[in-house]
């Protein structure tokens, strides 16, 4: 089975409280982004000892055995001891450490593919339960549709938001920002306007009402993030923002026939297309 794990964007991201378990409570909207990896999952050939994962494309730190796709298999194997070995191949295109959820998507799509290939007959709720054990935002990619995400980013509420067909530019300047560093400058607080209310207004108002708490936290150390955002607004974006804890910055261009082709440094990774 060949699948294409897609990235995500955050529309607004508020760190609202510190939880007793050490995690932070969030309020954000997840939006699927069609910048994809490719993941193939097959039954292992006869005689193969164990589940294997081949990695190609962009380099992924660490050994293949520690990859979330392998951990997804091991999670299922613990509950289904007769689960056959699998042969997986991940071709990585979505940048790592960009705030786009690429690794989480790979894990969730691996769960879905393994369940289908080996006919485990798992419900959506069961798949989301496994995904939550792999990472805070992994469960989003099981249903993979726009939603309001709360708590650790793994409690979902439906939201009436349809941006399909909207031209979009995503710019990744090659900065890897650790989660610890991103949270270091955050002071949790509730937003003055709820995200659901703000996103219910025309996109022309979002620039003033929808924000990502990590932008102010990271701005002193990474002025390039504000520079990219300013360039997207100068090119006509109705809304631009950091995604997740960065370092990818995106711009939305509703009403345009296509996303503008802007000049960026050669070491940046850029995605242009429609949501």
Q: Please count the structural domains in the chain.
A: 2
pLDDT at 184: 82
Please name the helix (run of DSSP H) or strand (run of DSSP E) that holds residue 57, with its range, or none.
strand 52-57
pLDDT at 24: 83
The answer to the question of whether 174 is labelled as a binding residue is no
Q: Please name which of 31, 12, 27, 8 lies closest in space to residue 205, comparing C-alpha atoms.
A: 12
The answer to the question of whether 95 is labelled as a binding residue is yes
Residue 28 CB partners (closer than 8 Å, separation 6+): 10, 11, 12, 13, 14, 148, 149, 153, 195
The answer to the question of whether 60 is labelled as a binding residue is no
Mean pLDDT of the chain: 94
Q: Please identify every residue annotated as catalytic.
A: 8, 137
Same domain for 142 and 167?
Answer: no
* Cα-based angle 56, 100, 232 (whole degrees, multiple of 5): 115
Same domain for 168 and 115?
Answer: no
Residue that finishes a domain, picked among 134, 157, 180: 157
Confidence check: pLDDT of 66 > 80: yes
pLDDT at 144: 97
pLDDT at 227: 97
Q: Which range marks the domain in which residue 205 is found?
A: 163-274
Which position has the token pair 């530019």?
169
Same domain for 54 and 177?
Answer: no
Same domain for 107 and 221?
Answer: no
For the entire predicted model, the pTM comes to 0.95
pLDDT at 206: 98
Residue 204 or 180, more confident:
204
Task: Give the torsion sign (CA, 103, 105, 108, 112).
Answer: negative
Confidence check: pLDDT of 180 > 90: no
The answer to the question of whether 62 is labelled as a binding residue is no
CB 177 within 8 A of CB 218: yes
Confidence check: pLDDT of 64 > 90: no
Residue pLDDT, tens place only, 133-169: 999 899 999 999 999 999 988 999 999 999 999 999 9
Residue pLDDT, tens place only, 13-31: 999 998 888 778 899 999 9
Residue that finishes a domain, picked among 157, 172, 206: 157
Same domain for 72 and 196?
Answer: no
Residue that finishes a domain, picked among 133, 157, 181: 157
- CATH number, domain containing residue 50: 3.30.230.10
Q: Residues 244-268: what's their mean pLDDT? A: 95
Confidence check: pLDDT of 179 > 80: no
Same domain for 100 and 199?
Answer: no
Residue 192 or 113, more confident:
113
pLDDT at 44: 96
Same domain for 147 and 167?
Answer: no
What's the rounded Cα separation, in Å, for the pair 268 and 212? 22
Confidence check: pLDDT of 178 > 80: no
């Amino acid at each position: 089975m060949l699948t294409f794990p897609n990235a995500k964007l955050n529309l607004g991201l508020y760190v609202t409280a510190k939880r007793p378990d050490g995690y932070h409570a969030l309020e954000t909207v997840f939006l699927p982004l069609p910048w994809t990896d490719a993941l193939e999952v097959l039954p292992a050939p006869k005689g193969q000892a164990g589940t294997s994962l081949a990695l190609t494309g962009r380099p992924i730190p660490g050994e293949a055995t520690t990859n979330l796709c392998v951990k997804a298999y091991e999670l299922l194997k613990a509950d289904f001891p007769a689960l056959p070995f699998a042969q997986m191949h991940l071709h990585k295109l979505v940048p790592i450490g960009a705030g786009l959820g690429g690794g989480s998507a790979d894990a969730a799509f691996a769960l879905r593919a393994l369940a289908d290939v080996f006919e485990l007959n798992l419900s959506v709720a069961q798949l989301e339960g496994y995904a939550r054990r792999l990472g805070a935002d992994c469960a989003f990619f099981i249903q993979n549709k726009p939603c309001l995400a709360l708590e650790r980013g793994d409690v979902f509420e439906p939201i009436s938001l349809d941006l399909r067909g909207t031209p979009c530019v995503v710019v990744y300047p090659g900065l890897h920002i650790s989660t610890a560093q991103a949270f270091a400058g955050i002071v949790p607080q509730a937003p003055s306007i709820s995200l659901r209310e703000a996103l219910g207004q025309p996109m022309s108002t979002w620039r003033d009402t929808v924000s990502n708490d990590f932008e102010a936290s990271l701005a002193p150390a990474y002025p390039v993030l504000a520079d990219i955002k300013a360039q997207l607004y100068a090119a006509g974006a109705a809304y631009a923002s950091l995604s997740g804890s960065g370092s990818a910055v995106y711009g939305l261009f509703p009403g345009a026939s296509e996303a503008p082709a802007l000049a960026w440094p050669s070491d940046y990774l850029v995605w242009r297309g429609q949501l």
